Amino acid sequence: GENVEQHPSTLSVQEGDSAVIKCTYSDSASNYFPWYKQELGKGPQLIIDIRSNVGEKKDQRIAVTLNKTAKHFSLHITETQPEDSAVYFCAASREYGNKLVFGAGTILRVKS
Amino acid sequence: KAGVTQTPRYLIKTRGQQVTLSCSPISGHRSVSWYQQTPGQGLQFLFEYFSETQRNKGNFPGRFSGRQFSNSRSEMNVSTLELGDSALYLCASSGGAVTSTGELFFGEGSRLTVL
């Protein structure tokens, strides 16, 4: 079945450093790849997404890259801040936002 | 604009009982999806409703069911509860149309504990 692998499971960085989270998907028909951030006691919130016809997308300190040939995509956060500390999930789907297959999540800790 | 509202936020049930969870989507959103979140299995898709019809379904047993009303509010039901059903159940709404952005707006979830 469809599967999304996410690494690392935990990531600790110093404030100001960059953080990179990587995901690999199995379903070659996937064409939509969102990243969600979940803070304690809250539901996941979309931070950035990318579609299969785009190789890279950037939004201020956050960027996502997609390699369809290798079936992997990555989240890059630059100049990390303490408020970036949360659990990050990658996901993949064949359609816009529906039936997302999520990765296992990465706990990001930004130390000040 | 109000966000996605889920009720109840917390509930405790015993094995064999059934439970109904409710979700009110963002006004104007026609699609409601449900996800189960557990420490072991992560976030898993249960089902999605659009305009009162189930549009997608995940790999969960028939004990898990849902429905959507004409005002887009949705309910999910779990019958014959098992210990393994203990989880955070998340509801998410979206525009649902092909032209929508695809972003899912999640509620804060209903935390179910089965004893």
- Residue B2 has what pLDDT? 81
Residues B92/B33, Cβ–Cβ less than 8 Å: yes
Task: Please give the residue of chain A at the shortest CA–CA distance from B57.
Answer: A99
Cβ contact, residue pair A97, B107, below 8 Å:
no
Please state which of the ranges A40-49, B30-39, B91-100 shows the lowest mean pLDDT. Answer: B91-100
Confidence of residue A101 (pLDDT cuts 50, 70, 90): very high
Query: Which among A5, A36, A96 is the top mutation candidate for probing chain B, defined by the most B β-carbons within 10 Å of its own β-carbon?
Result: A96
- % of chain A residues with pLDDT over 90: 87
Average pLDDT over residues B2-26: 97
Cα(B30)–Cα(B51) distance, rounded to whole angstroms? Answer: 6
Cβ contact, residue pair B102, A104, below 8 Å:
no
Cβ contact, residue pair A98, B58, below 8 Å:
no
Residue B96 has pLDDT above 70, yes or no: no
